[in-house]
Structures are given as C-alpha cells and as structure tokens.
C-alpha cells in the first residue's frame, strides 16, 4: 500500500531560528504514529506545517498522493487531514453541539444534517449530556473531548492529535485511548504528539522521535525506546526502568 | 427506573422551522407597531421614525462587530454611502431612491469588502482594525466634502414633491407612511439578520469571532465569511442611510460620514446588547428619544433646572452617563443581560 502521508525534507525557520530541519517520514493508511520529543523539539511545528497553519520553509508534504505543501489549514481539513490543538480552542459562547456542527457544516453538510451528525458524535465521545451547555463551561476533560468531537465531524482520514491526553488524570485517559482506537479501527490514520509514554507505547505502530528539530529516531516503539540516543536525549530513567522490567 | 449505566439523554435536536421564536417575535412586533402612527402626533412620530433609523444602523454594526467580532469604528461610511447614493441618483437624474438604495447597498458592500480585505491582508486586528475602519470613513468624509461633483460640503436637499409617492419615497410632513416605510425596511433588515444568523454563514461568523484559528483548522473559509458578514452589515447600513435622507430630506458630509454617526452605530447595540438579535432594537428604543427629551428640557426647563435654558450638549452628556452606567452595570447591554438571566434559569 502506498503511504497516505509522505513528509520529505521538511524544515521550518522562524526569522533564523531553526525549529525544524530536514525531517522525512511516511505514514501508512490505518497506522498510528506517535511523535515524541523533549519540549521545543519541533513536534507542534511539524504539526503546524503539515496541517497548513503555515507553510514549511523547505520540503514537501504529500497527502493521498497529492502535493499539499502550502495548502491552507481549512482546505486540508475539508480534504480530511485534520488536527486538534494542544490548548483547547472551543467556540466559547456556542453550545457544545453547535461547536461540533460548525465542523460538520464546514465539510459541506446543511445546518440540519450538521446538527444531527454533531449529536451522534457527542453521544459517541460521551458529551451527550453537555450538548446544550455553552462550551466555555466545560471542564478540561470535556474540552479535550470536544476537540476530538469537532475533528471527527470532518470525517478525518488523517487525524493529527496534539497532546490529547495532557491535563487528564489517569482515570480520564483510558476512555479517550479507547475512543482513539475505535477511530483507528474505522480506518482513520492517527498521528499524535504525546508526553504520556504509556499511551505512546500502547497505541503506536511506529514512533518518530524529534530532538532540536531533527529526527532522532523512527521505528517500532520497542526499537525506539531501546535506542541509546533516544534514552539520552529524552526518555531517561523512565524507559530504562521499563526496559529492565 | 432502569438500572443501566448508560444514561439516556434527550435529543437536543429541534425541528428547524422558518417560523422560529425570533421570526414570531418580529411578526408580533410589526403587528403591534403598525397602528402606532395613528396614535401619535407629528413630533412623536418623528421620534418613532428615528428609533427605526437607529435600529437599522445598530443592526448593521451588530452583524459585523457584534456577531462577527470585527470592531468597526467607521460605520458612518456605509450609512453615508447609502444616503449619498440615493441622493445623487434622485437629485441629478430623478431616479427613484429605491434604485439608489439598491446601488448604495451594493457600493457599501463592495466598499466594506475592499476595506476588510485590505485590513485582513495586512493582518490588522482589534484596535488597529477599528482605527483603520475609522480612517477609511474619515477619508470618505473628506473626499465628499471637497468634491464638487457631489456638492462638496453643501450636501444634497431632496427635491420636494407634492403629496405622497411611494416610488419616490416621499410623503407630506407628518404622514404615517414614513413610519410604515421605515418599519417595513427595519423588519426586512431584521428578518435578513435572523435568517443569516441561523444559516451556516451566521454560525461560521460567530465561530470565527470566538476563535479564528480553530475555525480555520475545522475547514471554515475564514476570510470569505468575514467579508460576507461585512458586506451584509454594509448593505444594511446603506439602507439606514437612504431612509434617513428621505425622511430628513437632507444629507451633508458631516451627517453622512461624520464620526458622530459611527459612534451612534456603536452605542445602539452596546446599550441594547452586542451580538444579540434584539439588542439593537432595544438600544434604539432607549437612545433615539434621548435627543428629543433633552431638547425639550433645554427649550423649556422645569423650574429647578432653570440654569439649563438655552444651553446645548445635554443630550451628549446624558449619552455619556448612560453609556457609563450600561458598561458598569449591564456589560452585556439591556437585552443581553435579560437574555442571560432568562437562559440561566
């Protein structure tokens, strides 16, 4: 099968500050790719370049065989390459249902269809009881789910999740992980930036490790955590322990 | 009671009908207002007509800046473009103000789109955006003031006719037709607002106001819908300008494009409730009579206010006090606060 996403030699500089340099990787359809790295490694910058928040300085992004480098985020989202934000960005004054309906409507559904679909998604992600509340009243865990719900309304073929588990207590994580797996089972490809290593290890088919804007390692999770360079740069004791275990 | 853990939540989906609460309220409002001019004297009708003009101007601002979050400090531009379009056609060529109104709406929309596009192109936001809209409106004022082809600072007098003529939008002084015409225009603008706000475009407009980046990343074409909101806002502002000119039979650069007009456009929804359908109406009802009340007090003050006789500017002072009170105690405006109280229940 040909890759659904191909990133080639992508780089991004902000006024001379090199945030990302010569990163290349491919993602297979239906794959779950974890992206890890210390703070400032360029994970979110990579997401931003791929999702069209800003164009990369160098390199190209192909999605479903098409060169999408420089496409706007809105266009990519409508095409099924969708990202969520690390910091939740609800449409605060709108109800939770309306938030999701915006995304469904942007995909081209009528207002009526958009609300119907929004309601189905809210039931699926466990926000049904909040449907008519204004979204700014949601607690953090709810907002995280709302980010996911809105992304789902776009029928993503590639879903890019930026720290979707951050800020959740461990008991809140498992339902989200289950949800992600069910999304994957429906055929979506997942890319996710995450700090919660247990989730990365459990979910990922492959892991990309970034450090100071460059690829440090790329491969199966167990290979990556065994890589001495990775251990030194980022993982430290946590994985050494896990290894010994 | 079932013991299942799965909580069943009633569906929040409602039937989408054309006659929703807002449309019904609009119909009731119009029905109640239609007989009003028969109960009012000429002076009271003039106040009522000003309420309608204020309502349209406020609605116009409210779409772009209330729902759309793009703060306009130059709404006089749309109002003035409307007033001048109809006057130019009517005075120079004898063409009906209805035609002038349609042209004015188009020109105002186009002007708004161009100014908006330029601002967004150079990423002007917040205060800078507001200042840019102000600067463009001032530019129009200065251009019109110095252009002989539009009578420079003299402005236009609408040529008087005998009797009533709906096609020329002119009626004898004191005719209830003015009120009915304004009511019809206001109702049309309000209906357009209601339909717009429950359409996809309206929902996108609010989403963009709440978080532009999030809206864009969810596939909303941000620029297109910002400009759509501005165009609609501009068109309604132009309607207000045409009706104003036809009622007062006079327009000049200051009345049309002056900063005072832009401030009026802001104050109406601020007092009534920014970003609510009914806010501008409530604001107009509260603000429009203020001039007349203060003028009456100044002309003929009660004994304990003797010192006020013959002075001017009281209305402006009262405006200021009212605004301070609203911002202090009703930051969401009169209607906005009531709406919040009711929905919180």
Could you read off the pLDDT of B18-76 as tens digits, one per residue?
Answer: 788 999 999 999 999 999 999 999 889 999 999 999 999 999 999 999 999 999 999 99
- Report whether A66 contacts A52 (CB < 8 A): no
Q: Do B12 and A119 touch (CB under 8 A)?
A: yes
CA distance B203 to chain A (A): 7
Please tell me which of A11-20, B111-120, B159-168, B258-267 the model is most confident about, judged by mean pLDDT: B111-120
> Looking at residue B160, what DSSP letter applies?
P
Token output for B321: 């006090």
* Inter-helix orientation angle B76-93/B42-61, to 10°: 120
- Report residue B5's pLDDT band, with 50, 70 and 90 as the boundaries: very low
Report if residue A71 sits inside a domain: yes
Residue B314 has a CB neighbour count (10 Å cut-off) of 18
Residues 150-169 of chain A with CB under 8 A from chain B are 150-151, 153-154
Whichever domain contains A39, its CATH number is 3.40.50.300
Question: For chain B, how big is the Rg over CA atoms in Å?
Answer: 21
What is the secondary structure of B23-63 as a DSSP string? HHHHHHHHHHHTTHHHHS-HHHHHHHHHHHHHHHHHHHHII
Of B11, B211, B216, the CB nearest to A91: B211
Rounded CA separation B13/A131 (Å): 10
Confidence (pTM): 0.90
Rounded CA separation B161/B181 (Å): 17
For the segment B169-193, the average pLDDT, to the nearest whole number, is 94
Rounded CA separation A91/B212 (Å): 9
Q: Do B11 and A119 touch (CB under 8 A)?
A: yes
Of A89, A95, A154, the CB nearest to B213: A89
Q: Do B207 and A94 touch (CB under 8 A)?
A: yes
CA distance B262 to chain A (A): 27
Give the mutation candidate from B203, B218, B220, B223 for the A interface (greatest A CB count, under 10 A). B218
Of B206, B210, B218, the CB nearest to A106: B218
**Which pLDDT score is estimated for A235?**
56
- Report whether B136 contacts B108 (CB < 8 A): no
Of B11, B16, B207, the CB nearest to A112: B16
Rounded CA separation B43/B145 (Å): 31
Q: Name the residue in chain B with its Cα closest to that of A107.
A: B219
- Please report the ipTM that was assigned to this predicted complex: 0.88
Report if residue A16 sits inside a domain: yes
Give the mutation candidate from B5, B12, B221 for the A interface (greatest A CB count, under 10 A). B12
Number of domains in chain A: 1
CA distance A39 to chain B (A): 23
Listing from the earlier edge strand, what are the strands of the sheet with A5-14?
A: A17-27, A5-14, A58-63, A66-67
Rounded CA separation A100/B18 (Å): 23
Q: Which residues pair with A215 in a beta bridge?
A: A210
Give every CB contact of residue B310 below 8 A, 6+ residues apart in sequence.
B298
Question: What is the residue extent of each domain of chain B?
Answer: 39-256
For residue B217, the chain A residues in CB contact (below 8 A) are 51, 53, 73-74, 77, 82-83, 85
CA distance B172 to chain A (A): 46
Rounded CA separation B104/B205 (Å): 24
For residue B199, the chain A residues in CB contact (below 8 A) are 111
Report if residue A235 sits inside a domain: yes
CA distance A231 to chain B (A): 34
- Torsion angle, alpha carbons of B24, B29, B31, B36, to 10: 180
Of A51, A129, A151, the CB nearest to B9: A129
For residue B13, the chain A residues in CB contact (below 8 A) are 115-116, 119
**Which pLDDT score is estimated for B302?**
80
**Which pLDDT score is estimated for B339?**
85
Pick out chain A residues at pLDDT < 50. 239-245
Report if residue A112 sits inside a domain: no
* Inter-helix orientation angle B333-344/B259-272, to 10°: 20
Residues 68-107 of chain A with CB under 8 A from chain B are 72-75, 77-78, 82-83, 85, 89-95, 97-98, 101-103, 105-107
Q: Could you tell me if residue B250 is left (phi over 0), alpha (psi between -120 and 50 degrees) or otherwise beta?
A: beta
Residue B226 has pLDDT above 90, yes or no: yes
The per-residue pLDDT of chain B, averaged, comes to 91
Q: Which residues pair with A162 in a beta bridge?
A: A193
**Which pLDDT score is estimated for B242?**
97
Of A112, A119, A154, the CB nearest to B218: A154
For the segment B197-220, the average pLDDT, to the nearest whole number, is 95
Tens-digit pLDDT profile for residues B139-180: 999 999 999 899 888 999 999 888 888 999 999 988 899 999
Report if residue A46 sits inside a domain: yes
CA distance B121 to chain A (A): 15
Rounded CA separation B56/B51 (Å): 9
Report if residue A93 sits inside a domain: no
Domain hosting A178: range is 5-88+157-244
Report if residue A145 sits inside a domain: no
Of B7, B199, B215, the CB nearest to A102: B215
Helices (H), chain A: 43-50, 73-79, 96-106, 111-125, 140-152, 170-185, 197-203, 221-226, 228-230, 237-244
Chain B residues whose C-beta sits inside 8 Å of any chain A C-beta: 7, 9, 11-13, 16, 198-200, 203-204, 206-207, 210-211, 213-222, 275
Q: Do B217 and A74 touch (CB under 8 A)?
A: yes
Cβ pairs A/B, distance under 8 A: 93
- Report whether B72 contacts B133 (CB < 8 A): yes
């Amino acid at each position: 099968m040909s890759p659904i996403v191909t990133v080639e030699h992508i780089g991004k500089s902000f006024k001379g500050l090199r945030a990302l340099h010569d990163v290349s990787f491919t993602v297979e359809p239906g794959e779950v790719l974890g992206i890890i790295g210390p703070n400032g490694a360029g994970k979110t910058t990579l997401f931003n370049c791929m999702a069209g928040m800003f164009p990369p300085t160098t390199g190209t992004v192909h999605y479903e065989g098409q060169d999408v480098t420089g496409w706007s985020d809105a266009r990519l989202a409508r095409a099924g390459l969708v990202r969520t934000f690390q910091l939740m960005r609800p449409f605060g004054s709108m109800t939770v249902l309306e938030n999701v309906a915006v995304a469904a409507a942007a995909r081209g559904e009528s207002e009526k269809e958009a609300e119907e679909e929004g309601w189905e998604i809210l039931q699926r992600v466990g926000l049904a009881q909040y449907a008519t509340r204004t979204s700014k009243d949601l607690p953090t865990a709810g907002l995280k789910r709302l980010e996911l719900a809105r992304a789902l309304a776009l029928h993503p073929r590639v879903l890019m999740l930026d720290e979707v588990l951050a800020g959740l207590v461990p008991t809140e994580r498992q339902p989200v992980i289950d949800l992600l797996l069910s999304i994957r089972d429906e055929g979506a490809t997942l890319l996710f930036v995450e700090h919660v290593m247990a989730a990365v290890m459990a979910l990922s088919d492959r892991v990309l490790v970034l450090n100071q804007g460059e690829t440090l390692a790329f491969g199966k999770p167990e290979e990556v955590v065994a890589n001495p360079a990775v251990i030194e740069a980022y993982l430290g004791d946590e994985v050494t322990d896990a290894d010994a275990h | 009671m079932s013991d299942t853990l799965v909580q069943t939540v009633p569906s929040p989906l409602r039937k989408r009908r054309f006659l929703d609460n807002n449309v019904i309220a609009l119909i009731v409002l119009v029905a109640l207002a239609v007989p009003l001019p028969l109960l009012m004297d000429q002076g009271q009708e003039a106040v009522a007509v000003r309420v309608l003009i204020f309502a349209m101007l406020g609605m116009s601002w409210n779409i772009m800046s209330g729902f759309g979050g793009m703060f306009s400090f130059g709404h006089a531009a749309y109002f003035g473009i409307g007033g001048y379009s109809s006057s130019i056609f009517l005075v120079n060529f004898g063409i009906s103000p209805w035609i002038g109104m349609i042209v004015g709406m188009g020109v105002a929309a186009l002007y708004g789109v161009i100014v908006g596009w330029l601002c967004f192109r150079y990423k002007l936001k917040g205060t800078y955006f507001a200042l840019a809209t102000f600067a463009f409106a001032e530019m129009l004022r200065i251009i019109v003031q110095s252009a002989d082809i539009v009578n420079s600072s003299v402005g236009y007098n609408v040529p008087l006719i005998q009797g009533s003529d709906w096609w020329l939008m002119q009626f004898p002084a004191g005719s209830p037709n003015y009120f009915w015409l304004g009511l019809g225009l206001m109702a049309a603008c309000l209906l357009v607002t209601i339909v717009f706000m429950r359409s996809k475009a309206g929902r996108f407009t609010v989403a963009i106001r709440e978080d532009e980046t999030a809206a864009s990343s969810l596939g909303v074409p941000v620029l297109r819908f910002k400009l759509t909101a501005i165009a609609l806002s501009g068109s309604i502002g132009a309607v207000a300008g045409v009706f104003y000119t036809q009622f007062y039979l006079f327009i000049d650069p200051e009345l049309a494009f002056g900063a005072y007009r832009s401030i009026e456009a802001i104050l109406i929804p601020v007092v009534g409730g920014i970003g609510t359908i009914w806010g501008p109406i409530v604001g107009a009802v509260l603000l429009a009579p203020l001039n007349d009340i203060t003028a009456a007090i100044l002309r003929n003050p009660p004994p304990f206010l003797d010192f006020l006789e013959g002075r001017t500017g009281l209305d402006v002072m009262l405006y200021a006090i009212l605004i301070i009170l609203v911002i202090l105690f009703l930051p969401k405006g009169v209607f906005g606060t009531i709406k919040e109280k009711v929905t919180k229940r």
